[in-house]
Structure 1
């Protein structure tokens, strides 16, 4: 029976595949690109034949994935035939017997080069090992500097993977979602792919925090009617005014994404109801013949401010000076008729295209848009400079790149009036390195607006900066604490590494000479013993200290070597292996070397007497009830992090094979650290009411209480031991009922 059904299944699959390809062609034919249908058809037929019989984890034919990626590339990014063909072929070299040479022979060098770039970074940017991870990322960026379409197709590939993530195991979902949030979303943001960046963030959030995601979605749905009334009241007089101006335009309200709402709730410590900028009004107009788009933006601005009162500190003019990712728009915030602040974004159709599709849209308007292309070239140039940095550590390297991916820009002037673009928060030292490496290395200070400032002085838009140098100056380790740009960090690192290497070599020579002088073996075992004796876990650190003359070796080191160093050695070996510090006796993890982890099921976080089968991470301190995940340490211990923890995010991105989904068992006998922040009006007896509520009503042990009052308002933090999230929630409700207490919420310590 099964045999006779097989042709029917095959026929149905072929129809589905053909329909998907027809949809792709329709999207392409509706674009303004040159008609190269034959080439796209040839690429589809080749990929379809190459992937014949292969299935995705969801059970659908594998070719549906390249077709979906090609459709994203065409429809959502606005790219043409070269990118569509490359997307269709992107997995052929990786998953089949065909080579890049075969692609070159059939489709030409440009498509072959892009497919080769995509193949080199396949399997996710993050490899199994740190060095492979850094190398893959370097390959991606090097190829990207050759042809930006490589990264655009890679982002499209990731977007489709995120849209179909439901068929993956939970631990794999965490890895992919963490990786997406850590790297792909900021990369899409930097390339101006706003709608894709938003969807990547929302999908990552959906898999990492399903309950919060569902809660915010439900809240948005239930408040939709109120928002519509608010928008209608605001829009009526504006529509009348714009119609009188003779414009062709559309005006609509755009609701904030689920992820950005949650992010704001977390960072500001507020509830959903306290977020007032849930939507922004967007006005998109078609340009008028012979009138500059910028002038139309300001005309619309003038019309709106005739009706509503403006908030001067919230004007953002990205029309005159676009962002580095090409974004252009005029933003203003006005007081609406219902007494609420409303943000308005004014853009031309071209500006909206670039805002949604980023650099991909620039080809559409290339002849008019030299400036944006120049900005892209500048960004790729900074990436190339970072790649020149010798021997980058994988995670440091990714963090360095990320510094530049996420930043907003400021514009700073040289003494001659030239403009330099820097990230928000950049310092005088960053500016020095932006001008030239030698200027940065020898910088001793700066004059900002003719006033003398230190190297660490943060710059703001419009500052005029003159760099002061000295020949005797060299980069110092503390400089790394206040530079923000990737270029400055890598240049300082390079000099410090070189200095450290030279100093360590000098120290090593001194150690070897001292051992030989004492007529003992100068080999590594004795060098290690000396390092341990002086309190160093690593030989290189000991050499460095000797080189800098922080340690002066005695005339005869033989006596030191004869002393028993076993206890000292044990102590430092433990440190070197990274055993968890400050671990409380009751938090001691059960040795689990022999346990094999089943990643298909959640790992249960057990509480048995005073022993646990896990360790709480110091960075985020999750408690029972928190969304959490497990990370398998080198010694096979499970370290538990919150899913939203920034350090946890790096672990998910970099060590996906060590991630476990977790579930909490009942923890009514155990206590966990938690910190509450409480704010309100200062009054007699309020502190007494707070402590009484915590101690009497909840029998909670307060570890630390710090409350400060100023100008009639108090603000405090209470550190205590609780059983789980439910304790915290009940406590917040009880405390918020106390007279004059205005806000209560859990915060990181």
Structure 2
């Protein structure tokens, strides 16, 4: 066989076996499936102390196949032979011209922690800017003594708003800095003794215009909300009225950054909406779902929109939210293969009816079912922050912190289910990443980019209603995207690699 020919055993790829030490994945290592795979194979593997002994034989692939043994599992045999191919590629220098954008955190020094008034802004370099620091000091003085409904100092809301904006804007540049500064100062004109003139004197005309725009949006929104509560069907917002309100709000804005700041403000308010009375929380969630989520979509802020929708979903339909979170955790849990009696109804779950014209339910009754187990605060905590889904390092840190908290303080089941969903996505990422490492290592010049996402619960719920199917028929709840170059010889290989991750 010539060196350019492909051995018959490499005409297809079987899924590779991967292990991880993360707390959420330890149960996978001890499962019966993995004991079955590795049990009869370990004794047959031969450890070679020098690569020279293998390369000298002139047939590394045959040596790897022989080491696996004819009776070993196909997945193990494939893994061994793929590693052998990678070793040959490295030795020949093919890997040196291959670029792969991995999801793994880069091996660089972690930034030092930065805590501002109790808010963790580690990793957001824009908070080191002198103008941003000055804005925080200005807001600290203006909001001195003010508390939120949660009992936290009001300044924390200002910094959280700026932190959300820091995810959405570049880390440098005048417009980006002014956006974050305006986000920190967005309430000083309405809720303190400071005037717009003092803001302009301290931070410039651009920041003052942004703060004025946000203040105007908030004022109009409050007036219309009060009008609905007094005169229109006890505050229920219809779809036609919501569309008219969206058009009016957009017509009042001459800078899209004003809407961006208002969205960041609303997002943090929704994260802490458990502190409001239930009827008011319901009204705010309904308004957010019908108006502000749509505006986020128009600005292309899909991840932020998804979190807003799930927060509203948790407030408006707590029982459905709780059940869907449990169903997905049951479907994606490693123990599901051997049967999980805790949630056997997950695969037969069907969509719960929802009145599309009005989002009004017996919220108190829904929450009362599990009031002793799950509170609104727990449900909101089970909504994954959008910046975690955008950043690999934050996902890993989130799971590590959740694992540590579980050891010291038991988290609510719905929060643990959210962590399991995120961990399952990380497992898929790692599995595909290993396949890509093997596939691209012997294709010189190939560039590969890998990204992933979790579908929001509200989006899954909407699709279940639209298609009239159960949750087990929603096949894009987790998604991985592989972007390759124009070399078609790798495309088929990658296509099969992706298939093996989900079909194995």
TM-score (norm 2): 0.49
Larger radius of gyration: 1
As a proportion of its length, which structure holds more helix? 2
Greater relative CO, 1 or 2 (CA 8 Å, sep 6+): 2
TM-score (norm 1): 0.34
